[in-house]
Amino acid sequence: MAGKIKFQTPRGVKDILPKEQKYWWWLEKNFYNVFEAAGFERIILPTFESTDLFKRSMGEFTDVVSKEMYTFKDKGGNSITLRPEGTAGVARAYIQHGMQVLPKPIKLFYWAPMFRYDRPQAGRFREFWQFGLEVLGDDTPLSDALLIQALCKYYHKIGLQDVVVKINSLGTDKSRSKMVGALTKFLTGRKKDLCADCKIRLKKNPLRVLDCKLNKCQSIIEEASVILIDNLDEASKKRFTKVLEYLDEMQVCYELDPTLVRGLDYYTHTLFEVVIKGKEEMAIGGGGRYDNLVKQLGGADTACIGYAGGVERTIDALKLQQVNIPEDSKADIFVVQLGDKAKQKAIKVIDDLNGLDLRVATAIGKGTIQGQLKEANRLKVPFVLIIGDQEVHDKNVILRDMHDRSQETILDRNIVKMVSKKIEEKNISK
Ligand code: HAM
DSSP string, 271-327: EEEEEE-SSS-EEEEEEEE-TTHHHHTTS----EEEEEEEHHHHHHHHHHTT---PP
Tell whether 7 is covered by a domain. no
Give the pLDDT score at 2.
57
Q: Per the domain annotation, does 67 fall within a domain?
A: yes
- If asked whether residues 366 and 272 sit together in one domain, one would say no
Ligand 1 centre distance from Cα of residue 305 (Å)? 14
Measured by CA distance, the residue closest to atom 21 of ligand 1 is 124
| CA dist., res. 289 & res. 272, Å (int) | 9
CA-closest candidate to residue 16, choices 158, 154, 129, 157: 129
Low pLDDT (below 70) residues in the chain? 1-3, 429-430
Say if 311 falls within a structural domain.
Answer: yes
* Ligand 1 atom with the shortest distance to the CA of 264: 3
Pick the residue whose CA is nearest to atom 25 on ligand 1.
Answer: 85
Q: Is residue 430 part of a domain?
A: no
Taking the centre of ligand 1 as the mean of its atom positions, its distance from the CA of residue 289, in whole angstroms, is 14
What is the reported pLDDT for 428? 74
Same-domain check for residues 383 and 351: yes
The whole-number pLDDT of residue 178 equals 84
Residue identifier of the C-alpha nearest atom 2 of ligand 1: 286
Which atom of ligand 1 has the smallest separation from the CA of 134? 33
- 286 in the same domain as 165: yes
**Residue among 128, 213, 293 to mutate when testing ligand 1 (max atoms within 8 A of CB):** 128
Answer with the one of 278, 297, 320 that is the final residue of a domain: 320
Pairing of strands 304-310, 127-136: antiparallel
Q: How many domains does the chain have?
A: 2
Distance (Å) from CA 283 to ligand 1 centroid? 9
Query: Per the domain annotation, does 2 fall within a domain?
Result: no
Nearest CA, atom 18, ligand 1: 124
Of the three residues 320, 353, 377, the one that is the final residue of a domain is 320
Same domain, 304 and 250: yes
Q: What pLDDT is recorded for position 427?
A: 77
Q: The CATH number of the domain where 239 resides is what?
A: 3.30.930.10
Q: How far apart are CA 342 and CA 66, in angstroms?
A: 67
Q: Are residues 141 and 288 in the same domain?
A: yes
Do 154 and 62 fall within a single domain?
A: yes
Of 320, 354, 380, which closes a domain?
A: 320
Assess whether 307 and 358 both reside in one domain: no
Which among 143, 140, 162 is positioned nearest to 152, based on CA atoms?
162
Query: Which atom, in ligand 1's list, is nearest to the CA of 284?
Result: 12
Ligand 1 test: best mutation among 54, 65, 147, 313, most atoms within 8 Å of CB?
Answer: 313
Could you give the angle at which helices 311-320 and 21-37 cross, rounded to 10 degrees? 110
Orientation of helix 173-189 relative to helix 215-230, angle to 10°: 140
With H, G, I as helix, E, B as strand and everything else as coil, classify residue 371: helix
Range of the domain at 403: 333-418
* Omega within 30 of 0 (cis) for the link into 258: no
Indicate which CATH number applies to the domain containing 350: 3.40.50.800
Q: Which of 53, 85, 302 to mutate to test the pocket of ligand 1 (most atoms within 8 A of CB)?
A: 85
Q: Is position 107 within any domain?
A: yes
Same domain (yes/no): 267, 364? no
Shared-domain flag, residues 241 and 374: no
Q: Which atom of ligand 1 is nearest to the CA of 290?
A: 32
Mean residue pLDDT of the chain comes to 93
Cβ–Cβ < 8 Å for 24, 312: no
Please list every protein residue whose CB sits less than 6 Å from any atom of ligand 1. 85-87, 116, 118, 123-125, 128, 130, 132, 134, 263, 283-288, 290, 306-308, 310, 312-313
Phi, psi of 36 (to 5 degrees): -65, -40
Q: What is the pLDDT of residue 307?
A: 98
Contacts of residue 160, Cβ cutoff 8 Å, sequence gap at least 6: 276, 314, 317, 318, 321, 323
Query: Quick one: 255 and 374 in the same domain?
Result: no
Same domain, 32 and 58: yes
| Closest residue CA from atom 16 of ligand 1 | 124
| Protein residue with its CA nearest to atom 32 in ligand 1 | 306
Nearest atom, ligand 1, residue 306 CA: 33
Name the residue with the closest Cα to ligand 1, atom 1: 286
Question: Do 346 and 282 belong to one domain?
Answer: no
Say if 49 falls within a structural domain. Answer: yes
In a domain, 160, yes or no: yes
